[in-house]
Amino acid sequence: MAVVGLSGRLARCYCLRAVRSLPVCSSLRVPALQLHVSKTAMGASQKDFESAVNQVKLLKKDPGNEVKLKLYALYKQATEGPCNTPKPGLFDLINKAKWDAWNALGDLPKETARQNYVDLVSGLRSSSDSSSQVKPEADKKQAGYETLVITSEDHITKIMLNRPAKKNALNTQMYQEIMLALEAASKDDSTITVFTGSGDYYSSGNDLTNFTDIPPGGVEEKAKNGAILLRDFVDCFIDFPKPLVAVVNGPAVGISVTVLGLFDLVYASDRATFHTPFSHLGQTPEGCSSYTFPKIMGLAKAVEMLIFGKKLTAGEAYAQGLVTEVFPDSTFEKEVWTRLKAYSKLPRNAMRISKQIIRNHEKEKLHAINAEESSILQERWLSDECVNAVMNFLSQKAKL
Protein backbone atom coordinates (compact mmCIF):
# COMPACT_ATOMS: atom_id res chain seq x y z
CA MET A 1 0.00 0.00 0.00
CA ALA A 2 1.88 3.04 -1.11
CA VAL A 3 1.23 5.57 1.54
CA VAL A 4 0.52 8.97 0.08
CA GLY A 5 -0.56 11.89 2.22
CA LEU A 6 -3.53 13.04 0.19
CA SER A 7 -5.98 13.68 2.94
CA GLY A 8 -6.40 14.85 6.46
CA ARG A 9 -6.20 13.13 9.83
CA LEU A 10 -8.13 10.09 10.97
CA ALA A 11 -8.61 8.69 14.41
CA ARG A 12 -5.71 6.44 15.45
CA CYS A 13 -7.92 3.39 15.68
CA TYR A 14 -11.58 2.42 15.34
CA CYS A 15 -12.32 2.70 19.07
CA LEU A 16 -10.97 6.26 19.13
CA ARG A 17 -13.04 7.22 16.09
CA ALA A 18 -16.12 5.53 17.52
CA VAL A 19 -15.73 7.24 20.87
CA ARG A 20 -15.28 10.61 19.18
CA SER A 21 -18.72 10.08 17.66
CA LEU A 22 -20.28 9.60 21.10
CA PRO A 23 -23.30 11.89 21.56
CA VAL A 24 -22.53 14.88 23.78
CA CYS A 25 -24.68 13.88 26.69
CA SER A 26 -23.94 14.41 30.39
CA SER A 27 -25.87 11.20 31.15
CA LEU A 28 -23.06 9.17 29.64
CA ARG A 29 -21.98 6.86 32.43
CA VAL A 30 -18.45 5.62 32.65
CA PRO A 31 -19.00 1.92 33.34
CA ALA A 32 -17.58 0.35 36.44
CA LEU A 33 -15.15 -1.78 34.52
CA GLN A 34 -15.41 -5.35 35.86
CA LEU A 35 -12.18 -6.81 34.54
CA HIS A 36 -11.11 -10.38 35.13
CA VAL A 37 -7.43 -10.85 35.57
CA SER A 38 -6.30 -12.78 32.58
CA LYS A 39 -5.85 -16.49 33.26
CA THR A 40 -2.58 -16.62 31.43
CA ALA A 41 0.15 -14.51 33.00
CA MET A 42 1.45 -13.63 29.54
CA GLY A 43 -1.96 -12.39 28.23
CA ALA A 44 -2.76 -12.20 24.52
CA SER A 45 0.12 -12.01 22.06
CA GLN A 46 0.84 -8.71 20.26
CA LYS A 47 -0.36 -10.35 17.05
CA ASP A 48 -3.69 -11.35 18.67
CA PHE A 49 -4.04 -7.79 19.98
CA GLU A 50 -3.30 -6.20 16.60
CA SER A 51 -5.69 -8.64 14.95
CA ALA A 52 -8.38 -7.70 17.50
CA VAL A 53 -7.80 -3.99 16.72
CA ASN A 54 -8.42 -4.81 13.06
CA GLN A 55 -11.44 -6.96 13.88
CA VAL A 56 -13.15 -4.12 15.73
CA LYS A 57 -13.61 -2.53 12.31
CA LEU A 58 -15.51 -5.66 11.22
CA LEU A 59 -18.26 -5.25 13.81
CA LYS A 60 -21.55 -5.06 11.95
CA LYS A 61 -23.42 -3.28 14.70
CA ASP A 62 -22.52 -0.39 16.97
CA PRO A 63 -21.54 -1.94 20.32
CA GLY A 64 -22.88 1.07 22.25
CA ASN A 65 -21.17 3.84 24.19
CA GLU A 66 -20.21 1.84 27.26
CA VAL A 67 -18.46 -0.86 25.25
CA LYS A 68 -16.75 1.75 23.07
CA LEU A 69 -15.39 3.46 26.18
CA LYS A 70 -14.21 0.10 27.49
CA LEU A 71 -12.46 -0.62 24.17
CA TYR A 72 -10.86 2.83 24.22
CA ALA A 73 -9.66 2.48 27.83
CA LEU A 74 -8.25 -1.04 27.36
CA TYR A 75 -6.54 0.02 24.10
CA LYS A 76 -4.82 2.95 25.86
CA GLN A 77 -3.90 0.85 28.91
CA ALA A 78 -2.50 -1.92 26.70
CA THR A 79 -0.48 0.45 24.52
CA GLU A 80 0.48 3.28 26.95
CA GLY A 81 -0.05 1.85 30.45
CA PRO A 82 -1.83 3.73 33.29
CA CYS A 83 -3.59 6.98 32.41
CA ASN A 84 -0.87 9.62 32.02
CA THR A 85 -2.66 12.71 30.72
CA PRO A 86 -4.19 15.65 32.61
CA LYS A 87 -7.93 15.41 33.34
CA PRO A 88 -9.98 17.30 30.69
CA GLY A 89 -12.16 20.26 31.71
CA LEU A 90 -15.63 19.79 33.14
CA PHE A 91 -17.41 20.78 29.93
CA ASP A 92 -15.19 18.71 27.67
CA LEU A 93 -17.65 15.83 28.06
CA ILE A 94 -16.37 13.37 25.46
CA ASN A 95 -12.70 13.62 26.38
CA LYS A 96 -13.65 13.56 30.06
CA ALA A 97 -15.61 10.32 29.53
CA LYS A 98 -12.61 8.84 27.75
CA TRP A 99 -10.21 10.03 30.44
CA ASP A 100 -12.43 8.64 33.23
CA ALA A 101 -12.68 5.23 31.50
CA TRP A 102 -8.93 5.02 31.08
CA ASN A 103 -8.17 6.35 34.55
CA ALA A 104 -10.58 3.80 36.07
CA LEU A 105 -8.19 1.03 35.01
CA GLY A 106 -5.63 2.24 37.51
CA ASP A 107 -2.41 0.21 37.42
CA LEU A 108 -3.87 -2.69 35.45
CA PRO A 109 -0.83 -4.33 33.76
CA LYS A 110 -0.49 -3.84 29.98
CA GLU A 111 -0.61 -7.61 29.38
CA THR A 112 -3.90 -7.92 31.26
CA ALA A 113 -5.39 -4.95 29.42
CA ARG A 114 -4.28 -6.51 26.14
CA GLN A 115 -5.87 -9.85 27.05
CA ASN A 116 -9.10 -8.16 28.16
CA TYR A 117 -9.23 -6.17 24.92
CA VAL A 118 -8.86 -9.39 22.88
CA ASP A 119 -11.50 -11.16 25.00
CA LEU A 120 -13.93 -8.24 24.68
CA VAL A 121 -13.54 -8.08 20.88
CA SER A 122 -13.95 -11.81 20.45
CA GLY A 123 -17.15 -11.66 22.49
CA LEU A 124 -18.42 -8.79 20.36
CA ARG A 125 -17.51 -10.63 17.16
CA SER A 126 -19.30 -13.84 18.07
CA SER A 127 -22.46 -11.97 19.11
CA SER A 128 -22.38 -9.87 15.92
CA ASP A 129 -21.67 -12.96 13.74
CA SER A 130 -24.48 -15.00 15.34
CA SER A 131 -26.96 -12.12 14.95
CA SER A 132 -26.06 -11.76 11.28
CA GLN A 133 -25.69 -15.51 10.58
CA VAL A 134 -28.06 -16.54 7.83
CA LYS A 135 -29.05 -20.25 7.90
CA PRO A 136 -27.00 -21.86 5.09
CA GLU A 137 -29.95 -23.94 3.84
CA ALA A 138 -31.88 -20.71 3.40
CA ASP A 139 -30.65 -20.82 -0.23
CA LYS A 140 -30.67 -17.06 -0.36
CA LYS A 141 -28.38 -14.11 -0.50
CA GLN A 142 -26.73 -13.57 2.87
CA ALA A 143 -27.24 -10.15 4.45
CA GLY A 144 -24.54 -8.04 6.08
CA TYR A 145 -22.04 -7.60 3.27
CA GLU A 146 -21.57 -4.40 1.28
CA THR A 147 -18.75 -5.32 -1.12
CA LEU A 148 -19.68 -8.99 -1.65
CA VAL A 149 -22.73 -10.98 -2.69
CA ILE A 150 -22.79 -14.28 -0.79
CA THR A 151 -25.23 -17.00 -1.87
CA SER A 152 -25.64 -20.57 -0.64
CA GLU A 153 -27.39 -23.18 -2.73
CA ASP A 154 -26.78 -26.74 -3.95
CA HIS A 155 -24.23 -27.11 -1.11
CA ILE A 156 -22.10 -24.38 -2.72
CA THR A 157 -21.30 -21.09 -0.97
CA LYS A 158 -20.54 -18.49 -3.64
CA ILE A 159 -18.58 -15.36 -2.72
CA MET A 160 -18.94 -12.80 -5.50
CA LEU A 161 -16.76 -9.69 -5.49
CA ASN A 162 -19.24 -6.91 -6.01
CA ARG A 163 -17.59 -3.60 -6.88
CA PRO A 164 -17.99 -3.85 -10.66
CA ALA A 165 -17.71 -0.08 -11.18
CA LYS A 166 -14.20 -0.33 -9.74
CA LYS A 167 -13.33 -3.59 -11.53
CA ASN A 168 -13.83 -5.38 -8.20
CA ALA A 169 -10.75 -3.70 -6.71
CA LEU A 170 -10.25 -4.84 -3.13
CA ASN A 171 -10.70 -1.95 -0.72
CA THR A 172 -10.07 -2.35 3.01
CA GLN A 173 -13.70 -3.20 3.64
CA MET A 174 -13.66 -5.93 0.97
CA TYR A 175 -10.55 -7.55 2.50
CA GLN A 176 -12.29 -7.63 5.85
CA GLU A 177 -15.59 -8.88 4.45
CA ILE A 178 -13.82 -11.66 2.53
CA MET A 179 -12.18 -12.81 5.79
CA LEU A 180 -15.60 -12.82 7.46
CA ALA A 181 -17.17 -14.68 4.53
CA LEU A 182 -14.44 -17.34 4.51
CA GLU A 183 -14.81 -17.82 8.27
CA ALA A 184 -18.59 -18.28 7.84
CA ALA A 185 -18.17 -20.59 4.81
CA SER A 186 -15.72 -22.79 6.74
CA LYS A 187 -18.50 -23.45 9.29
CA ASP A 188 -21.63 -23.59 7.12
CA ASP A 189 -23.07 -26.78 5.64
CA SER A 190 -21.70 -26.22 2.12
CA THR A 191 -19.24 -28.70 0.67
CA ILE A 192 -17.32 -26.28 -1.59
CA THR A 193 -16.71 -22.52 -1.66
CA VAL A 194 -16.47 -20.54 -4.88
CA PHE A 195 -15.04 -17.07 -5.61
CA THR A 196 -16.05 -15.11 -8.71
CA GLY A 197 -16.43 -11.49 -9.84
CA SER A 198 -19.41 -9.41 -10.88
CA GLY A 199 -19.22 -7.42 -14.12
CA ASP A 200 -16.51 -7.76 -16.73
CA TYR A 201 -13.57 -8.20 -14.32
CA TYR A 202 -12.70 -10.94 -11.86
CA SER A 203 -10.72 -8.34 -9.86
CA SER A 204 -8.24 -5.55 -10.53
CA GLY A 205 -6.44 -6.39 -7.28
CA ASN A 206 -5.60 -4.03 -4.46
CA ASP A 207 -7.62 -0.80 -4.51
CA LEU A 208 -4.91 1.80 -4.97
CA THR A 209 -6.95 4.42 -3.16
CA ASN A 210 -6.84 2.24 0.00
CA PHE A 211 -3.89 4.02 1.32
CA THR A 212 -4.49 7.67 0.65
CA ASP A 213 -5.67 8.43 4.18
CA ILE A 214 -2.81 8.79 6.63
CA PRO A 215 -3.66 8.11 10.32
CA PRO A 216 -2.26 10.33 13.08
CA GLY A 217 0.38 7.65 13.65
CA GLY A 218 1.79 8.56 10.23
CA VAL A 219 2.81 6.58 7.18
CA GLU A 220 4.68 3.98 9.23
CA GLU A 221 1.53 3.07 11.17
CA LYS A 222 -0.44 2.88 7.92
CA ALA A 223 2.09 0.52 6.38
CA LYS A 224 2.16 -1.60 9.55
CA ASN A 225 -1.62 -1.94 9.62
CA GLY A 226 -1.65 -2.81 5.92
CA ALA A 227 0.92 -5.56 6.47
CA ILE A 228 -1.18 -6.99 9.32
CA LEU A 229 -4.30 -6.89 7.14
CA LEU A 230 -2.48 -8.59 4.24
CA ARG A 231 -1.03 -11.32 6.48
CA ASP A 232 -4.40 -12.03 8.14
CA PHE A 233 -6.13 -12.02 4.74
CA VAL A 234 -3.77 -14.53 3.11
CA ASP A 235 -3.73 -16.70 6.29
CA CYS A 236 -7.49 -17.20 5.78
CA PHE A 237 -6.83 -18.79 2.37
CA ILE A 238 -3.96 -20.94 3.68
CA ASP A 239 -6.17 -22.31 6.47
CA PHE A 240 -9.45 -22.66 4.58
CA PRO A 241 -10.55 -26.29 5.19
CA LYS A 242 -12.93 -26.95 2.28
CA PRO A 243 -12.30 -27.22 -1.48
CA LEU A 244 -11.86 -23.61 -2.72
CA VAL A 245 -12.69 -22.84 -6.34
CA ALA A 246 -11.97 -19.68 -8.39
CA VAL A 247 -14.37 -19.02 -11.28
CA VAL A 248 -12.32 -16.39 -13.13
CA ASN A 249 -14.91 -14.62 -15.24
CA GLY A 250 -12.59 -11.90 -16.60
CA PRO A 251 -9.23 -10.14 -16.15
CA ALA A 252 -7.50 -10.68 -12.81
CA VAL A 253 -4.76 -8.43 -11.40
CA GLY A 254 -2.35 -8.48 -8.46
CA ILE A 255 -3.45 -10.14 -5.23
CA SER A 256 -6.50 -11.69 -6.92
CA VAL A 257 -3.99 -13.63 -9.08
CA THR A 258 -1.36 -14.47 -6.46
CA VAL A 259 -3.79 -16.12 -4.00
CA LEU A 260 -4.91 -18.46 -6.80
CA GLY A 261 -1.91 -20.60 -5.83
CA LEU A 262 -3.83 -21.36 -2.60
CA PHE A 263 -7.03 -22.41 -4.41
CA ASP A 264 -7.89 -26.04 -5.21
CA LEU A 265 -9.49 -25.43 -8.63
CA VAL A 266 -9.14 -22.44 -11.01
CA TYR A 267 -11.64 -22.39 -13.89
CA ALA A 268 -11.19 -19.48 -16.34
CA SER A 269 -13.17 -17.96 -19.15
CA ASP A 270 -11.08 -17.59 -22.30
CA ARG A 271 -11.44 -13.81 -21.91
CA ALA A 272 -9.65 -13.88 -18.55
CA THR A 273 -6.10 -12.57 -18.20
CA PHE A 274 -3.65 -12.91 -15.30
CA HIS A 275 -1.41 -9.94 -14.45
CA THR A 276 0.95 -9.38 -11.48
CA PRO A 277 2.53 -5.95 -12.15
CA PHE A 278 4.42 -5.73 -8.88
CA SER A 279 7.63 -4.17 -10.20
CA HIS A 280 5.60 -1.58 -12.14
CA LEU A 281 4.08 -0.58 -8.79
CA GLY A 282 7.35 -0.63 -6.85
CA GLN A 283 5.95 -3.61 -4.94
CA THR A 284 6.81 -7.28 -4.43
CA PRO A 285 4.88 -10.59 -4.60
CA GLU A 286 2.34 -11.55 -1.94
CA GLY A 287 -0.25 -14.30 -1.42
CA CYS A 288 2.60 -16.83 -0.99
CA SER A 289 3.22 -16.51 -4.76
CA SER A 290 6.98 -16.14 -4.20
CA TYR A 291 6.81 -19.84 -3.27
CA THR A 292 3.70 -21.22 -4.99
CA PHE A 293 4.30 -19.76 -8.47
CA PRO A 294 7.82 -21.23 -8.94
CA LYS A 295 6.42 -24.51 -7.61
CA ILE A 296 3.42 -24.42 -9.99
CA MET A 297 4.97 -23.10 -13.20
CA GLY A 298 8.73 -23.33 -12.78
CA LEU A 299 11.15 -20.55 -11.85
CA ALA A 300 11.53 -18.94 -15.27
CA LYS A 301 7.81 -18.52 -15.92
CA ALA A 302 7.21 -17.38 -12.33
CA VAL A 303 9.94 -14.74 -12.66
CA GLU A 304 8.47 -13.50 -15.94
CA MET A 305 5.13 -12.92 -14.17
CA LEU A 306 6.22 -11.73 -10.72
CA ILE A 307 9.29 -9.65 -11.56
CA PHE A 308 8.72 -8.60 -15.16
CA GLY A 309 4.92 -8.36 -14.97
CA LYS A 310 4.12 -10.45 -18.02
CA LYS A 311 0.35 -10.60 -18.47
CA LEU A 312 -0.87 -14.14 -19.27
CA THR A 313 -3.83 -15.09 -21.41
CA ALA A 314 -6.11 -17.78 -19.99
CA GLY A 315 -4.50 -20.30 -22.35
CA GLU A 316 -0.99 -19.37 -21.18
CA ALA A 317 -2.07 -19.55 -17.53
CA TYR A 318 -3.48 -23.02 -18.22
CA ALA A 319 -0.29 -24.13 -19.97
CA GLN A 320 1.71 -22.91 -16.94
CA GLY A 321 -0.45 -24.80 -14.45
CA LEU A 322 -2.06 -21.81 -12.74
CA VAL A 323 -5.45 -22.55 -14.34
CA THR A 324 -7.13 -25.97 -14.17
CA GLU A 325 -9.29 -25.54 -17.30
CA VAL A 326 -10.29 -22.81 -19.77
CA PHE A 327 -13.83 -22.54 -21.17
CA PRO A 328 -15.26 -20.52 -24.07
CA ASP A 329 -16.76 -17.36 -22.60
CA SER A 330 -20.07 -18.07 -24.33
CA THR A 331 -20.59 -21.29 -22.38
CA PHE A 332 -18.36 -20.56 -19.37
CA GLU A 333 -20.96 -20.01 -16.65
CA LYS A 334 -23.21 -22.90 -17.78
CA GLU A 335 -20.40 -25.46 -18.11
CA VAL A 336 -18.62 -24.47 -14.92
CA TRP A 337 -21.70 -24.40 -12.69
CA THR A 338 -22.99 -27.71 -14.05
CA ARG A 339 -19.66 -29.28 -13.11
CA LEU A 340 -19.48 -27.61 -9.69
CA LYS A 341 -23.01 -28.72 -8.80
CA ALA A 342 -21.96 -32.30 -9.53
CA TYR A 343 -18.80 -31.93 -7.43
CA SER A 344 -20.76 -30.41 -4.54
CA LYS A 345 -22.71 -33.66 -4.13
CA LEU A 346 -19.55 -35.63 -3.30
CA PRO A 347 -19.08 -36.69 0.36
CA ARG A 348 -18.03 -33.54 2.22
CA ASN A 349 -15.79 -35.19 4.85
CA ALA A 350 -13.84 -37.21 2.29
CA MET A 351 -13.20 -34.03 0.31
CA ARG A 352 -12.24 -32.04 3.40
CA ILE A 353 -9.86 -34.73 4.69
CA SER A 354 -8.32 -35.20 1.23
CA LYS A 355 -7.64 -31.46 1.08
CA GLN A 356 -5.99 -31.67 4.50
CA ILE A 357 -3.70 -34.52 3.38
CA ILE A 358 -2.73 -32.59 0.24
CA ARG A 359 -2.22 -29.19 1.91
CA ASN A 360 -1.28 -29.70 5.56
CA HIS A 361 2.36 -30.60 5.15
CA GLU A 362 3.09 -27.14 3.69
CA LYS A 363 0.82 -25.01 5.92
CA GLU A 364 3.49 -23.90 8.38
CA LYS A 365 5.82 -23.06 5.52
CA LEU A 366 3.09 -21.04 3.78
CA HIS A 367 2.35 -19.08 6.97
CA ALA A 368 6.04 -18.24 7.31
CA ILE A 369 6.26 -17.17 3.65
CA ASN A 370 3.13 -15.03 4.05
CA ALA A 371 4.61 -13.31 7.11
CA GLU A 372 7.87 -12.61 5.24
CA GLU A 373 6.11 -11.28 2.11
CA SER A 374 3.92 -9.02 4.29
CA SER A 375 6.85 -7.52 6.19
CA ILE A 376 8.77 -6.87 2.96
CA LEU A 377 5.72 -5.14 1.48
CA GLN A 378 5.43 -3.04 4.65
CA GLU A 379 8.75 -1.46 3.68
CA ARG A 380 8.00 -1.30 -0.06
CA TRP A 381 4.85 0.69 0.55
CA LEU A 382 6.99 3.49 2.05
CA SER A 383 9.36 3.58 -0.93
CA ASP A 384 9.45 6.38 -3.53
CA GLU A 385 9.03 3.75 -6.27
CA CYS A 386 5.71 2.68 -4.81
CA VAL A 387 4.43 6.15 -3.89
CA ASN A 388 5.20 7.50 -7.39
CA ALA A 389 3.52 4.54 -9.10
CA VAL A 390 0.35 4.95 -7.03
CA MET A 391 0.35 8.76 -7.52
CA ASN A 392 0.61 8.18 -11.28
CA PHE A 393 -2.40 5.88 -11.23
CA LEU A 394 -4.44 8.18 -8.99
CA SER A 395 -3.67 11.17 -11.19
CA GLN A 396 -4.89 9.07 -14.11
CA LYS A 397 -1.49 9.35 -15.73
CA ALA A 398 -0.84 5.65 -15.92
CA LYS A 399 -2.78 2.42 -16.10
CA LEU A 400 -1.40 -1.06 -16.36
User: Which residues sit at the interface with ligand LGGBLMCM, rule CB under 6 A?
Assistant: 1, 166-167, 169, 175, 204-209, 226, 229-230, 253-255, 281, 283, 286, 393, 399-400
- Pairing type for strands 192-197 and 265-269 reads unpaired
Q: Which residue is nearest to ligand LGGBLMCM (CB)?
A: 254
CA Rg, the chain, in Å?
23
Nearest approach, Cβ of residue 249 and ligand LGGBLMCM (Å): 14
Which of residues 162 and 204 has its CB atom nearest to ligand LGGBLMCM in the complex? 204
CA distance 249 to 111: 47
**DSSP conformation letters of 253-270:** ETHHHHGGGG-SEEEEET
Nearest approach, Cβ of residue 396 and ligand LGGBLMCM (Å): 7
Which of residues 3 and 247 has its CB atom nearest to ligand LGGBLMCM in the complex? 3
Picking from 109, 22, 28, 126, the residue whose alpha carbon sits closest to that of residue 74 is 109
Nearest approach, Cβ of residue 308 and ligand LGGBLMCM (Å): 15
Which of residues 205 and 261 has its CB atom nearest to ligand LGGBLMCM in the complex? 205
Beta-bridge partners for 148 = 161
Nearest approach, Cβ of residue 207 and ligand LGGBLMCM (Å): 4
Nearest approach, Cβ of residue 343 and ligand LGGBLMCM (Å): 29
Answer yes or no: are the C-beta atoms of 267 and 336 closer than 8 Å. yes
Which of residues 110 and 166 has its CB atom nearest to ligand LGGBLMCM in the complex? 166
Which of residues 57 and 348 has its CB atom nearest to ligand LGGBLMCM in the complex? 57
Which of residues 83 and 322 has its CB atom nearest to ligand LGGBLMCM in the complex? 322
Picking from 265, 209, 255, 202, the residue whose alpha carbon sits closest to that of residue 233 is 255
**Which phi and psi angles does 195 have, rounded to 5°?**
-105, 140
**Cα 396 to Cα 52, 166, 208, 392, 393, distances in angstroms:** 36, 14, 12, 6, 5
Which of residues 99 and 274 has its CB atom nearest to ligand LGGBLMCM in the complex? 274
Which of residues 185 and 253 has its CB atom nearest to ligand LGGBLMCM in the complex? 253
* DSSP type of residue 272: -
Nearest approach, Cβ of residue 44 and ligand LGGBLMCM (Å): 23
Nearest approach, Cβ of residue 29 and ligand LGGBLMCM (Å): 38
Structural element, H or E, at residue 109: none
Which of residues 22 and 228 has its CB atom nearest to ligand LGGBLMCM in the complex? 228
Nearest approach, Cβ of residue 149 and ligand LGGBLMCM (Å): 18
Nearest approach, Cβ of residue 98 and ligand LGGBLMCM (Å): 30
**DSSP conformation letters of 326-386:** EE-TTTHHHHHHHHHHHHTTS-HHHHHHHHHHHHHHHHHHHHHHHHHHHHHHHHHTTSHHH
Answer yes or no: are the C-beta atoms of 262 and 238 closer than 8 Å. yes
SS3 62: coil
Answer yes or no: are the C-beta atoms of 66 and 137 closer than 8 Å. no
